[in-house]
Amino acid sequence: MALRSFFRTKLGFSGLLPRLSPCSSHGRVCVSQQRNSSTAPKIKVDFDQNTGVAVMHMQSPPVNSLSLDFLTELAISVEKLEIDKGCRGLIITSNQPKVFSAGLDILEMYGKSPERCGEFWKAVQEMWLKVYCSNMVTIAAINGSSPAGGCLLAMTCDYRIMADNPRFTIGLNETQLGIVAPFWFKDTMINTVGHRNTELALQLGLLYSPSEALKVGLVDQLVPEDQVLTTAVKTMTKWLAIPEHARQITKSMMRKPTMDKLKSNREADIQNFVSFITKDSIQKSLHMYMEMLKRKKA
């Protein structure tokens, strides 16, 4: 389970622009990312112009793996909403049953050239920067399990609401796989749950149940599974009632040291990732995992 949880991500950042189309609801706009007519959009954004709130639905079956295409759509969609001054709040949730996002996609890391791995990791950075640095109010409506990269995505948001289902888990479980979480994963978690909780979580590769996540502060609120999104919408109203300028400056003040640390070390971080993921021993482990998946499917 731990191995499957971690190796489900890929992300890249290209010059694709989302397509805007009207929805049936008055004052609402759908933003969907489409590379071509044969590729189903992995991200659907419903933007209500009356409230200034967008809901981003992750819809990449079966588990919203953070693939190159997926995270390209996510990053570009966030950028587009950020540019639209009418959009003040973003809720991120999943259309896939029982999962928010299962994390990094193994296919982006196995058998790829160093150049491709570097492109992938740069895109992972880009996703984090886009959401973590956003001026919008961001709320994660976590309606399923959210390990590894899925947990990182949730932690980039200002507020996290999780379904109160003991079968769901959330956390950065990389060490269970012999992998070290990058410094900016670590710093994001420290900012969320504090130094000691992060030290324990990262060393042990912990996956928390919803109640455990609430106890340490990894999530802010638990609600019944069928109320996650509606609760996020109500919570967003409270956040948007705060004077925007003051809230944005405060957010920047709290997060700027963490953001600046990655921005000034992006190339070194990419090289560290490429050097690690292309090692023969790591590639062998990835191969073994893929073979295990094939046997399970058979």
Catalytic site residues?
Answer: 104, 149, 173-174
Task: Count other C-beta atoms under 10 Å from residue 59's C-beta.
Answer: 16
